[in-house]
Structure 1
Amino acid sequence: MLDNPGSDRIKGVSRLNQKDARTESGLFLLDGPQGLKELSRRPGLAHEIFLTELAAERYFDELSTLESAGVEITLVSERVMAKLSQTTTPQGVVAVVSQIDTSLSEALATSPKLVVVLDQARDPGNAGTILRAADAAGADLVIFLQDSVDPYNPKLVRSTAGSILHVPFVRDVAPGEAISALRAAGLQVYATSASGESITTLRSSLTSPTAWVFGNEAHGVSDQVQEMADRLVALPIYGQAESLNLATAASVCLYASAFEQHSQD
């Protein structure tokens, strides 16, 4: 068992909590038991699993599958887990995983029908929750435009609750490149804006392949991207709230599309 959080090995792994180390290595940290369950279905992504003794007992079946696939399993103390996880209450499992983002051309070659575009979204918790909502709504792709949060940010990864392994995503794409490629792939591009038309008027159009653009938590979708969008869309506020949280608004829009696209299923 590894018991020294100050060892070179643990320091090296914990560096993956930093963007520069992730960029250099092509790896990221997947924290928590949900990620472990997902990796047991895709063991080729995992390089090493670090667990406490309690977690190893609890997730014996998943570990057996991963170990049989040749993944290295390492027991660590609670102190070491706290160093690796860097959360207030570590869940006892951290995996070192290969980065899995794809290229825009490869993603669009699959003819997606529902796409999320994040324009300068900076909060990792919000972005991770949106990716999770995209997974739940059956979205085919998430695009992180330039100046958005790193999709491998540890807080973002935790917020996806394993969905980061389900939905293809592309990162660091220029706005013009993304919008042009989406249109060429047959998608309409709707950007959220408080000044847009109500989503309640769009039901018939939402059956078509759609890319939803969600913007910065404070400033919304940038002027540049709004000008390129086919439509600006607003969510009506029926109560007294000033606005909706970004992730909540994204969930509503994605499910509005999902309901219409799956209405004939």
Structure 2
Amino acid sequence: MKSVRGLSRRSVRRRTGRVLVEGPQGVREAVRFAPERILDLYVTAEAAHRYADFVEPARAAGVFVHEVSDEVLAAMCDADTPQGTAAVVDWSAAELTPVLDAQPRLLVLLTHVRDPGNLGTVIRGADAAGADAVLISDASVDVTSPKVVRSTAGSLFHLPVVTGLDIEETLATLGAAGIRRLAADGTGESTMDESDLSGPHVWVMGNEAWGLEPGTQAACDEVVRVPIHGRAESLNLAMATTICLYASARQQRT
């Protein structure tokens, strides 16, 4: 119990290379897409019956499945209501070079994102829009934190997530690889509906509070804004990112 609960601390996650996945959505996707990385799966008696669609395949794949009480599961988890199941999973961030070697067409680069819910929701939105990878700068929230992992709803196991990137160096590398760098900012002269999003490109998103640093914006090929037709002052980071990614997906699939 103590070793699993310890994964709520970043220092323990870094030392062990493990994350805690809580709730049926995340655990189901881990079983489907990364069963070889699951070290232990914990499930209550009721949940073992309710979620047999992934508990039994996990057993068949050789995953250690432990039946525990509601009280034990609650003591191990960070979430107030872990919904009957959790899993300890080996996790390591993807690398940028293999992502570029695969000739991606749609990427998102998050610069100094600080809110766990925003980061998790962006990863989930990028997955849904068909993005090839999510890139995250250094000085951002830890992608393995329990709240981020929960917010991804399992998308963390669907696409590469590259972390700890130097922004200036990454933008230069992306440019050299022929990927257009689009800074998403309200000062953009063109909107995402007016920009050509058919070729390979990366959306560069700023911090929730102050947006993009001037130097980061200047290093991009184009500054693009999300049109606001009503009276809203601005959009939440995760919402704006998802809108941009879907605009790209629409053009690329057309």
Q: Give the TM-score, by structure 2 length.
A: 0.96
Preserved CA contact (<8 Å) 2:31 2:38: no
In the alignment, the residues of structure 2 paired with residue 26 and residue 122 of structure 1 have an alpha-carbon distance, to the nearest angstrom, of 21
- 2:207 is equivalent to residue 245 of structure 1: no
Residues 132-191 of structure 1 show CA distances to partners (whole Å, capped at 9, x for unaligned) of 010010000101101111111111111111111001011001012211121122210011
The residue number in structure 1 matching 2:85 is: 93
1:30 paired to 2:21: yes
Q: Distance in 2 between matches of 1:133 and 1:255?
A: 9
1:221 aligns with 2:212: yes
Residue 138 of structure 2 is aligned to residue 143 of structure 1:
no
Could you give the per-residue CA deviations for residues 211-245 of structure 1, whole angstroms, max 9, x where no partner exists?
Answer: 00111111112222112111111112211111111
Equivalent in 75, 80, 101 of residue 72 of structure 2: 80
Provide the identity percentage: 43
Measured in 2, the distance between the counterparts of 1:106 and 1:11 equals 36
Number of matched pairs: 253
- Name the CA distance, whole Å, in 2 between partners of 1:168 and 1:107: 7
- 2:182 alignment partner, SS class: strand
The structural deviation recorded for 1:55 is 0.8
- CA RMSD across the alignment: 1.3
Looking at structure 1, the residues matched to 3 and 245 of structure 2 have their Cα atoms a distance apart, in angstroms, of 39
* 3-state SS of paired residue (2:209): coil
Q: Does 1:112 align with 2:107?
A: no
Structure 1 residues not aligned, in runs of 5+: 1-9
Task: Determine whether 1:198 maps to 2:202.
Answer: no
1:200 shift after superposition? 4.4
* Counterparts of 2:30 and 2:118, CA distance in 1: 24
Instruction: Establish whether residue 183 from structure 1 lines up as the match of residue 175 from structure 2.
Output: yes
Deviation at residue 103 of structure 1 after TM alignment: 0.9
Aligned to 2:122: 130
Distance 2:86 2:177 in 1: 38
Supply the distance in 2 between the matched residues of 1:198 and 1:228 (Cα, whole angstroms): 17
1:16 maps to a residue whose letter is L
Question: Does residue 63 of structure 1 match 2:55?
Answer: yes
Is 1:257 aligned to 2:248, yes or no?
A: yes
Deviation at 1:47, TM superposition (A): 0.5
> Which of structure 1's runs of 4+ aligned residues deviate more than 6 A?
none
Whole-Å separation in 1 of the counterparts to 2:8 and 2:78:
8
Q: Distance in 1 between matches of 2:227 and 2:95?
A: 35
Instruction: In structure 2, list runs of 5 or more residues that go unmatched.
Output: none
Paired AA for residue 236 in structure 1:
P
Q: Distance in 2 between matches of 1:85 and 1:202?
A: 46
| 2: CA distance, partners of 1:105 / 1:186 | 14
Q: Decide which moves more: 80-89 or 249-258.
A: 80-89
1:162-173 pair list within 5 angstroms:
162-173=154-165
Distance in 1 between residues matched to 2:87 and 2:179, nearest whole Å: 36
Farther off after superposition, 78-87 or 163-172: 78-87
Matched, 1:50 2:78: no
Are residue 12 (structure 1) and residue 40 (structure 2) matched?
no
